[in-house]
């Protein structure tokens, strides 16, 4: 599987490659690898082959094909696709089959993409390693004793292992960028509102965004363009023009001003990640960018702020899982309250319960002002840090994660250590701006390292120009060398 997203689509469009052959190769790779990696929770072989045959037939009839013709795009299990189960990694949604497509899924279908299935994830996207999945952990194809990151773990692992060519994930505080970094692929968190959240199973609605994973920058750019745009079904989706992100990849980065935040190169950052990221920034300087130190002084409050706001929103979003409307129902013959309690007790895992408790606490009378309201104020200060920095620079470069992929089990008993693995991705989420993780080198044990490029709201083009420049120095690699 050596082709990129753009190559597949162009070949299928020209007729030099059949979508059915791409689909069969995808199924072969999933068959060969999924039992050890556990990236997919559901594989829709029949649907995939039917979609591929339909794309080929459309071409044979002489009809124009869409920009993702024949490209398999796996879906994080937090996204609804009509007829395929959606669990969001939780037992409480076991058996739930959505009756409709998320807007992103409808857009992928309209672009002639193929949908191989649903990918494993931390329960309700709460986690950074995949270990919180109710269906068992996901392994990193670079080293199966290690995590691929999370919470979009299966989406990242399936692309890293080249089981599929691309995938969608969701990013609330880092869940696309951090697994992209740990898995050696490209992952994009778009500006809040760029992509419709309609049909995404909610975690924290003021932070959640859907975005693409691909093995290369141009593939991610093409998918992002396809799924972006205003949607009347999502009141927070922005009515802004969708630029040609692929064209931005062809632009020279010369003259762009890059900010390097001192606060992101502090204690906790591993030496090898620091060295690799500094080298990537130096290469951008030799490409003609100017490098400038910037300050994001409220960074130190990002983890605390995020875990107040995200848990508050989660406690409210997850109130709907009561055994009445979806999935699991436990002890149906007891009174209503007892049935709610038994269902939620059996259906939610430990991390989800921890967050519901924390979120309910920070919203409760007497604590609301001290925690929730204060966190909202600090969120504004974090956003202003970026506004100030972007008065002087076009983009910010940093590590995506403080370390390379850690071992499964290494942090699972220590929630705080786990929460710190998102320290560099949380601030951009709180600010609602866009970020990408792009591979920038390898660390000890042949484990990938990612560079994070953050740009102002709706400036994805700048982010893609810089990411493409980074990629010319550090082309895509996979564990099998293809
Ligand atoms: N790891 C972070 C958390 O556990 C972010 C998750 C995400 O972005 N969905 O909340």
DSSP state of 477: -
The reply to whether ligand 1 has any atom less than 6 angstroms from the CB of 151 is yes
**418 CA: nearest ligand 1 atom:** 1
**Alpha-carbon torsion 148, 223, 429, 285, what sign?**
positive
Look at residue 475 in the predicted model and tell me its pLDDT. Answer: 95
* Residues forming beta bridges with residue 43, ordered by sequence position: 117
The reply to whether ligand 1 has any atom less than 6 angstroms from the CB of 155 is no
The reply to whether ligand 1 has any atom less than 6 angstroms from the CB of 422 is yes
Burial (CB < 10 A; 0-12, 13-18, 19+), residue 410, is: middle
158 is catalytic: no
Q: Compute the mean pLDDT over every residue in the chain, rounded to the nearest whole number.
A: 97
153 is catalytic: no
> How far, in Å, is the centroid of ligand 1 from the Cα of 214?
20
Look at residue 482 in the predicted model and tell me its pLDDT. Answer: 60
The reply to whether ligand 1 has any atom less than 6 angstroms from the CB of 352 is no
Q: Which residues of the chain have pLDDT under 50?
A: none
| pLDDT digit string, tens, across residues 340-361 | 999 999 999 999 999 999 999 9
Pocket test for ligand 1, best of 79, 121, 122 (most atoms within 8 A of CB): 122
Cα–Cα distance for residue pair 223/73, rounded to 1 Å: 9
| pLDDT digit string, tens, across residues 280-320 | 999 999 999 999 999 999 999 999 999 999 999 999 999 99
Cα–Cα distance for residue pair 214/91, rounded to 1 Å: 29
**126 CA: nearest ligand 1 atom:** 4
Tokens encoding 182: 């740990």
The SS3 assignment for 472 reads helix
Cα–Cα distance for residue pair 469/357, rounded to 1 Å: 45
Cα–chain-centroid distance for residue 228?
15
Choose, from 151, 228, 315, 429, the residue flagged as catalytic: 151
- The CA-CA-CA angle for residues 43, 46, 48, to 5°, reads 70
pTM for this predicted structure = 0.98
**Which one, of 3, 2, 4, lies nearest residue 468 by Cα?**
4
> How far, in Å, is the centroid of ligand 1 from the Cα of 126?
5
* Residues forming beta bridges with residue 455, ordered by sequence position: 434
Tokens encoding 286: 């030799």
Pair 214, 220: CB distance under 8 Å:
yes
Q: Is 321 left (phi over 0), alpha (psi -120 to 50) or beta?
A: beta
196 is catalytic: no
Pocket test for ligand 1, best of 120, 155, 172 (most atoms within 8 A of CB): 172
> How far, in Å, is the centroid of ligand 1 from the Cα of 322?
23
For residue 303, the tally of other CB atoms under 10 A from its CB is 17
Entry field: residues in the chain: 482
- H or E element in which residue 455 lies: strand 447-455
Cα–Cα distance for residue pair 47/115, rounded to 1 Å: 8
The reply to whether ligand 1 has any atom less than 6 angstroms from the CB of 351 is no
Look at residue 265 in the predicted model and tell me its pLDDT. Answer: 95
**Alpha-carbon torsion 151, 218, 25, 62, what sign?**
positive
- Beta 447-455 vs 395-399: how paired, if at all? antiparallel
> How far, in Å, is the centroid of ligand 1 from the Cα of 376?
18
| pLDDT digit string, tens, across residues 428-477 | 999 999 999 999 999 999 999 999 999 999 999 999 999 999 999 999 99
Domains of the chain: 5-256 (3.90.1300.10)
């Amino acid at each position: 599987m050596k082709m990129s997203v753009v190559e597949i689509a162009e070949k299928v469009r020209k007729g030099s490659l059949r979508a059915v052959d791409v689909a069969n190769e995808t199924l072969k790779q999933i068959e060969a690898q999924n039992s050890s990696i556990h990236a997919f929770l559901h594989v829709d072989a029949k649907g995939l082959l039917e979609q591929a045959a339909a794309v080929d037939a459309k071409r044979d009839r002489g009809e124009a094909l869409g920009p993702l013709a024949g490209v398999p795009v796996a879906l994080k299990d937090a996204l609804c696709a009509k007829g395929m189960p959606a669990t969001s990694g939780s037992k409480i949604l076991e058996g739930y089959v959505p009756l409709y497509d998320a807007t992103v899924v409808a857009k992928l279908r309209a672009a002639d993409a193929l949908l191989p299935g649903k990918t494993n994830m931390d329960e309700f996207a709460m986690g950074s390693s995949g270990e919180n999945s109710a269906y068992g952990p996901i392994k990193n194809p670079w080293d199966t004793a290690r995590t691929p990151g999370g919470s979009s773990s299966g989406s990242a692992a399936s692309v890293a292992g080249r089981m599929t060519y691309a995938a969608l994930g969701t990013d609330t505080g880092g869940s696309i960028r951090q697994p992209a970094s740990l898995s050696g692929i490209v992952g994009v968190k778009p500006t809040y509102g760029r992509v419709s959240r309609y049909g995404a199973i909610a975690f924290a609605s003021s932070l959640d965004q859907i975005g693409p994973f691909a093995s290369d920058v141009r593939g991610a750019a093409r998918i992002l363009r396809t799924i972006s745009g205003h949607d009347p079904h999502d009141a927070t989706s922005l009515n802004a023009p969708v630029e040609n992100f692929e064209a931005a990849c062809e632009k020279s980065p010369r003259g762009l001003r890059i900010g390097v935040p001192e606060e992101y190169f502090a204690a906790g950052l591993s030496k090898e990640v620091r060295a690799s990221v500094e080298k990537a920034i130096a290469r951008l300087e030799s490409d003609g960018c100017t490098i400038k130190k910037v300050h994001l002084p409220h960074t130190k409050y990002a983890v605390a702020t995020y875990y107040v706001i995200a848990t508050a929103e989660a406690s409210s979003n997850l109130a709907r899982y009561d055994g009445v409307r979806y999935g699991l129902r436990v002890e149906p013959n007891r009174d209503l309250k007892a049935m709610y309690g038994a269902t939620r007790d059996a259906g939610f895992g430990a991390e989800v319960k921890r967050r519901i408790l924390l979120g309910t606490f920070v919203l409760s009378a007497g604590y609301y002002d001290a925690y929730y309201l204060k966190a909202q104020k600090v969120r504004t200060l974090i956003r202003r840090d970026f506004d100030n920095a972007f008065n002087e620079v076009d983009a910010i470069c940093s590590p995506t994660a403080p370390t390379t992929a850690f071992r499964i089990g290494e942090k699972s008993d220590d929630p705080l250590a786990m929460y710190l693995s998102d320290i560099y991705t949380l601030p951009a989420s709180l600010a609602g701006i866009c970020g990408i993780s792009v591979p920038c080198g390898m660390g000890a044990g042949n484990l990938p390292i990612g560079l994070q490029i953050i740009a102002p709201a709706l400036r994805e083009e700048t982010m893609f120009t810089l990411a493409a420049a980074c990629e010319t120095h550090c082309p895509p690699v996979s564990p099998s060398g293809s």
